[in-house]
A and B are shown apart, each in its own frame.
Chain A
Amino acid sequence: MKARLIAYAKQAGVALVAFIIATAIWLPCLHLIYRKPLTDFYSEKGISPKARELAARHLRLWTDPASRAVELKKMRGSNAEWDFMGRTFLVWSLANMSLREPELKAQYLPVMDQIIHETVKIEKTDGIYAFLMDYAKAGTYVVKPARSLFLDGEIALMMGARRMLQENPAYKEQMTERLKVIEERMNGNPLMAMESYPDECWTYDHAVALAAFKLQDKLDGTDHSALCQRWIAIAKKYLVHSQTGLLVSSYQTDGTQLIGPEGSTIWMVVHCLQVVDEPFARDQYERARKELGRITLGFGYGTEWPVSWQGPRDIDSGMVIPGFDVSAGSSGMAFIAAASFQDWDFLRALAATIDMAGFPSYHNGELKYCASNQVGDAALLYAAVLGPMWERISKP
């Protein structure tokens, strides 16, 4: 009996050693299965295969009311903001795709118009709260009448993106009107802060609005460079997290910081600031990459918070996987920043992760990531095609 037990223990010991060796062999190789050429996700010229497949699904959602109703129910059941952002990311993506392949313009323009028209209609009919989270109704906006920079900035950028393909006088008027309100409110606050939620200002929304101003300058020959540089100067002085040097995510109208640097915010902020102040945006990207970007065993991901600042887990961060601190929200937005700053190693590693853990589902030439959702896929699509719009804005 004892001899049998010793033999069994010996066998177990050998198996354990073999299992450890096998793990050491396999883990560094795993990413090779999911690692594809970068051009599979992002192509500097033309449109990558993944972008085409992601776009195909989104276009079907906007042309098939039944499928769209199902997706919208999922979005709005989780977060009304996602319904809105799914629209904006898609319109910006279609604009970039049309600039990459001008023959797509005829097909995409009607879809962009449909999205913008419907979005503005909902905002007019149901008010700003239709696209905001419920807690917006619980507070009171400091500046009245209540407006949300989140909506005004992104809608202005949507309209500008559409106008970049073909002028539309109605959108020109509406875009100008929205940006005028933003300008007035920013100028009316010592920190150039405009609320997105009651007494809650987001760096993300300010960065989007500044990009919209730059787009307006390009389209209409206006000049908002002084306003933009003033905001950058204020941000550097009052909105920077002391330990990391990264911009904080949200603050009150008096400048009281609410949420420190977050991955789900900063990656998009650096992308938008790229057309406002490239050196500052690049510096922020490099800091974010160091503090929040990770590549482990060939897989890239974003953490939501730097080590020196831990925030509350919320709907933006998505699920955070303990141990690695992988954040779905931060990782998704990291695609946009990595593509913007041509950080190809990080982008390739992020693409490997989404193929490994995003559960891609291909059907009839369409692609969706099951672990993601409509807004997540639209953000990925935007990351896969961004570039041309920003290039045109930046060209003197």
Chain B
Amino acid sequence: MKLIGRILLQLWLGGMFTPEGFVFRALFVSVLYGISCLLGLAEYTAFLSGTSPGGDISWETASVLGLIHLLLHVAFILFVPISLITAVLLMAWERLKFRRARSNIN
């Protein structure tokens, strides 16, 4: 478990500004959002309309769960695509740099 954590941290921080880093973070957020969807946390977003959760769950717990899903949703629809576009732009920039360097050598 510790090893997985270390690998994830390395991937998260190691390639902070690389295309791979952006893709990794986009995938990571997507996985978290997928888990949130599978767990049905969307049901708790009713706190947005001020609706009591009903059932046995307290208002506070339901709001926290709803907020987690809301933040992951926002991250999924904003951060993920922006990160992927950033990765594409960085790859294009690196390729451009590489071509320039090669033509300078030639």
**Which positions in A face B, CB cutoff 8 Å?**
8, 11-12, 14-15, 18-19, 21-23, 25-27, 30, 33, 70-71, 73-75, 77-79, 315, 318-319, 328-329, 332, 356-357, 359, 361, 370-373, 376
Contacts and interface: CB of A to CB of B under 8 A. Distances in A.
A15 B90 contact: yes
Categorize the interface residue count of chain B: 20 to 34
Given A14-B93, A18-B93, A371 B46 contact: yes
Contacts of B98: none
A361 B46 CA distance: 12
A14 B82 contact: no
Task: Tell me which of B17, B44, B77, B93 has the highest count of chain A C-beta atoms within 10 A of its own C-beta.
Answer: B17
Contacts, number: 95
Given A15-B17, A359-B42, A370-B43, A22 B50 contact: no
A376 B22 CA distance: 38
A30 B76 CA distance: 12
Contacts of B50: 78-79, 315, 318-319, 328
B49 A30 contact: no
A240 to B, nearest CB: 29
Nearest to B52: A77
B80 to A, nearest CB: 10
A372 B52 contact: no
B85 interface: yes
A23 B46 contact: no
Given A12-B16, A12-B17, A315-B50, A359 B45 contact: yes
Interface string B52-87: 111100000000000001000100011001110110
A394 B45 CA distance: 40
A371 B49 contact: yes
Contacts of A79: 50
A8 B89 CA distance: 18
Contacts of B47: 319
